[in-house]
Amino acid sequence: MTLSSFQKDILLVLFFIAFVLCISLLFAYLLVGSLFGVFGDPSARDQDLSAYKLPENVPLNLPLEDAPAFDSILENQIVLVDGKQGGQYQYFVKFAPKNPGFLLVKAYEITSGDSLSMWRINETPTVISQNPELDVYSGEFTIYENDWDEFFGARIELWFDPENGSPIRVAEDNFQVEGWMR
């Protein structure tokens, strides 16, 4: 079957339209992705912290292997426990909030002060709801930077964000941590 000149022109126009549409979709994908962080600043994402070493002359706590006895936790002391895999952690803190609110985690690499996993660390904050009182509260978080068995120093902070008022730092301490390997 041979195509007439008119049919060839129609096919050429259709291919051109398809090409322009594909380029437009690619441009839109890149634009929207950069706006919503899909391709965002790598400093806000998983950084390669393999250049970081365990700091010298900075005392670091090691995460516990098992959950502590609640009566062994001091008020406003953060206790960190290794999770199911490297880079996953559970925290415990004895705290007396005055209002309902949320416990939030902040983590920083010790030598540089870089924020760790801030884009995902509080996906599931600990909710302190009705009748807040002195109690042991716990939650989980993951450090995404680095890989298993590549340890570095991190300052872990717990903040209480009350429903009414400004956030306050509840506890902080330095720990030896590792990243979660995907």
pLDDT tens for 45-102 read 444 545 667 888 899 999 999 999 999 999 999 999 999 888 999 999 999 888 899 9
Residue 136: inside a domain, yes or no?
yes
Residue 116: inside a domain, yes or no?
yes
Residue 2: inside a domain, yes or no?
yes
- Do 33 and 61 lie in a common domain? no
Three-state SS for 61? strand
Output the pLDDT for position 38: 47
**Domains in the chain: how many in total?**
2
Domain extent, residue 5, equals 1-40
- Do 59 and 18 lie in a common domain? no
Q: What is the pLDDT of residues 20-47, one digit of tens each?
A: 787 877 777 776 555 544 444 444 444 4
- Do 35 and 112 lie in a common domain? no
